[in-house]
Structure formats: structure tokens, C-alpha cells
Amino acid sequence: MEGHETAPIVLVHGIFGFGSQKMGHLSYWGGAEKQDDRILAPDLGALSSIHDRACELFYYLKGGTVDYGAERSQKYGHSRFGHTYHQGHYPEWDSKHPVHLVGHSTGAQVIRLLQNMLADKCFPGHDSTSADWVLSVTSLSGALNGTTRVYYDGIRAEDGKSMKSFSLLQVLRVGVLLYEWLDIPFLKRYYDFGFDHYNLQWHKAGITGLLDTLFNRSGPFVHDNWVLPDLSIQSSVELNKKLRTFDKTFYFSYATKGTKRWFSLWTLPGSIFSTHPLLFIRSLQICLWRHPEDLPLPYEGYRDEDWQDNDGALNTISQLYPCLPCVHSNCELGADLNDLKDGRVLQPGI
């Protein structure tokens, strides 16, 4: 990375997250973006799909009007174009002026997809993009292989895409649709779910449009073009089949775990006293998840016990490195990074 010591660091939030422009003075990143002008914390759709967020991230940095793609917008029934960034936050971005990408949770897959889209020259009018625009990709508790959590919340284990008729996600769906339809300016400035390109606002959709979305005849929740289906194991397998790593880019991942093996019998949360009650409950649910025996396995070789360790939000196996549908090349440095202390040199492309 010699010669790129001042490359910007772009922090990409996860599901239900927000950037430096939202939620008042609250920082998703613990104030990291306030420490240096080179640290950028974009606000991307809190519930929009991994693909749509990758598109938004490109134009946030480079500038211009977000282009979600003609074919995709027609397939999912939304506008092709979205928000316009009149001034990009890093307009000089190219192979000579690359960036470090850091993704938390869902953000990890967003930055991986963005690098692949750069390599495939997916952005109209930007014919010189390449994977070399990215110096490093860092995953912080990243959803690299999906999570069993989404099945508890309401995604069907049968396909990893559709929603159960009665579930927590159905309540969320109705709340989000009403929030988007009301389109109250000060609330949207405070927090944004990321569905403006679906034109759900009352002055565009009207009462008829609201009813169509509530009865699931149109809108983002009719299809799988939003983040929860993207987080299923099945969808992650499909995405990982398409994503590549690149020889000149450094890849890092940091995984977390708040569970342990009790009496060599059960994997359960480590302690109720050191864990927030809500995270303790979620962690326990993930530990107890069992894939329904009457349904096809999400991938060949799936075992429930592999998915029990978690940090209260995400399965630990998903955070390590892409291992579905096949194990990606990797090297483990350990929690104390002793290998680096012993003089080991990091290599790109791994």
C-alpha cells in the first residue's frame, strides 16, 4: 500500500444502520468518522438490497445520479434513477486514487459487490472502473455467508426469499410502508429506509398506491429486492458464487462470538450479566435454531451445530470468511495477531 497512505477509509453500515448525515448527532461508528476528514461514513438505505446499496455507494463517492440499472429497475418495478449527489465525496476516485472499504454486518457484502461491479464496469458513463480502485476490503462482523436469524424473523426457510404470512417482518413491512407513504420531511432527514426509488410517497402513489403495497401487489416487499432476503443462507450462497477476490486487494475480516460450550453438550450465550438482554434473547434463539427436517438443506453439507456460535446478532461462521458454496482461501491470524508480531507479511488476494 506504499504511496497510498492518505487513501480515504469508507465505513459502510449494516442493516438498520445510518451514516453521518442521519440520526442527529449519533454516530453509528462510535465517532470514528469525526476523527479524520479522510474517514467517510455514507448513509445508504437501511433496508434496501445489497445491490442497490452498492450502486448508492458508488455515486456517493464519485458523484452523479444513482443508476440502479435499466434491467433491474424494470424487473423490480422501481425507478431506474435515484438520489443525485451534485458533489461526490471523493470525485477523484480511480485506480491512482483508491480507497479502503470497511463494511459492518450487511455492509461487508455491499463492499464486496461494489468491487466486483467496478471490475465489471457496471456504471454507465464510467468506462475506466476496475477492481484496483479498492486497496483493501475489511469485514467487521460481516454477513459473508448469511444468517439463520432471518428465519426467526419471518423469511421462509424453504427458499430464503419470501416472507411468512404472520411474522415480525410483516409488522415491519407495514410500518415501513406507512413511514415511506407519509413522507414526513424531518423524519426522512432523520432516518431513511432507502426506498425512495419505489415512489411510495403519498403525493406520488396516492391512496391506491398505498393499498397496493399494503396488500402486497407492488413495492419492495413483493419481490426479494430488499435486505432481509439477501441475508438468508440461500441468497448468500448465490451471491458468493458470483463474487471474486482480486490479486492486488488486501482482504481482512474480524469475527465476534458471545457464546460458549456448556458441559460439552450445549452451545449457549456466555453470560446473561455481560450481555444486553435483547442481544441475549437473540443469541439464544440463534443457538437453538434447527433447520426443519422436512425441507431441503440450504447447501450441501449444512449442519445446525456449525451455525450455533454467534454474537447476538449474527452467526460467527458467517463472519469468518466466504465459505459457501466453497471455502475461500484464507489464513487465520488469531485474536492477538501473534503471527504479525513474528514478522509475517500479509499478502493481497487472500
290: amino acid identity, one letter = R
Same domain, 118 and 221: no
Same domain, 29 and 123: yes
Q: What is the pLDDT of residues 270-317, one digit of tens each?
A: 877 667 788 889 999 999 999 999 999 999 999 999 999 999 999 999
Q: Is residue 336 one of the residues assigned to a domain? A: no
Distance CA 175, CA 45 (A): 16
Same domain, 222 and 112: no
Residue 31 pLDDT level (bands cut at 50, 70, 90):
very high
Same domain, 52 and 110: yes
According to DSSP, residue 40 is labeled: E
- The boundaries of the domain holding residue 102 are 9-144+231-254
Same domain, 118 and 245: yes
Distance CA 217, CA 293 (A): 32
Q: Is residue 100 one of the residues assigned to a domain? A: yes
Distance CA 52, CA 7 (A): 25
Q: pTM score > 0.75 for this model?
A: yes
Q: Is residue 30 one of the residues assigned to a domain? A: yes
Alpha helices in 183-309 (DSSP H): 185-190, 202-214, 227-230, 233-242, 277-288
Selected residue with higher pLDDT from 339 and 196: 196
Beta-carbon-side half-sphere exposure of residue 127 (alpha carbons within 13 Å): 1
Same domain, 301 and 164: no
Q: What is the pLDDT of residues 91-130, one digit of tens each?
A: 999 999 999 999 999 999 999 999 999 999 999 999 999 9
Tell me the torsion sign for CA atoms 82, 88, 91, 95.
Answer: negative
Q: For position 335, what pLDDT does the model report?
A: 66
On the question of pLDDT at 1 being above 60, the answer is: no
Q: Is residue 329 one of the residues assigned to a domain? A: no
Same domain, 132 and 160: no
Same domain, 244 and 112: yes
Q: Is residue 1 one of the residues assigned to a domain? A: no
> How far from chain centre, in Å, is Cα 207?
32
Q: Is residue 216 one of the residues assigned to a domain? A: yes
